[in-house]
Amino acid sequence: MAGVSAAGIQPHNISPCESSTIGGETYEAFQGNHQDGTDTVSKEIFSFLEGMERRIMLKLERMHEDLRNGNGRVMEAVESRPGRTSEAAEEDMLEGPCQNLADLEDLCKKIADRSFKKKMIRHLSLLGGSNVGDGVRRMLKKIGTNELWKGFSLKGRKGKRPFHSLLIYDVVIRACST
């Protein structure tokens, strides 16, 4: 039995008859040299798959839009939750950078309150930075002016005040590790 494959199916001469581009990909439909109508079946399958792809893409676009709308609603719900501090209230936590030592001491007294300390850690941790050093610089700019920080060093060397003995030091360290 010449021309019969192992599966018992006779091979046909197949040549491309039609190509189509869908989503940037080119697909070719093939036509066989036989009289049983398989070329029309392949065209029907191809058009069915094209239609299915369009429907899937439309559904994906709708799902993407629904997710975007849902995220917006979730954010609105979170922001409107009672007891939630808004960004404006957190900004009031630091009315501006401390200008002098008295302002810094007042801030340290506020930090003695456990709930204020937690809020301050959260607020400072959200400032972020590209690395730890950048994050600490951002936090220190938020807490005090350059003029204030000129009088401090970490351990109090060279006649400066020790930063590590301030309550704000612990807040900065914890904000970096959060």
The tens place of each residue's pLDDT in the chain, 178 residues long, gives: 444 444 444 444 444 555 555 555 655 555 445 455 677 888 888 888 998 999 999 999 888 888 777 766 776 666 666 654 444 444 557 788 999 999 999 999 999 999 999 999 988 888 877 888 888 998 999 999 999 999 999 999 999 999 999 999 999 999 888 7
Nearest to 172 by CA among 146, 142, 131: 142
User: Residue 37's pLDDT is what?
Assistant: 63
Q: What span, in angstroms and rounded, lies between the C-alpha atoms of 67 and 59? A: 12
Give the residue extent of every domain in the chain: 14-79, 87-176
Helix and strand element counts for the chain (H, E): 7, 4
3-state secondary structure 109-133: HHHCCHHHHHHHHHHHHCCCCCCHH
User: Residue 1's pLDDT is what?
Assistant: 43
Strand partners, 98: 144
**DSSP helix, strand, coil percent of the chain (3-state; round to 5):** 55, 15, 30
Residue 85, Cβ neighbours under 10 Å: how many?
Answer: 12
Strand partners, 144: 98
User: Residue 76's pLDDT is what?
Assistant: 65
Query: Which residue in the block uniquely carries the two structure tokens 């309150």?
Result: 113
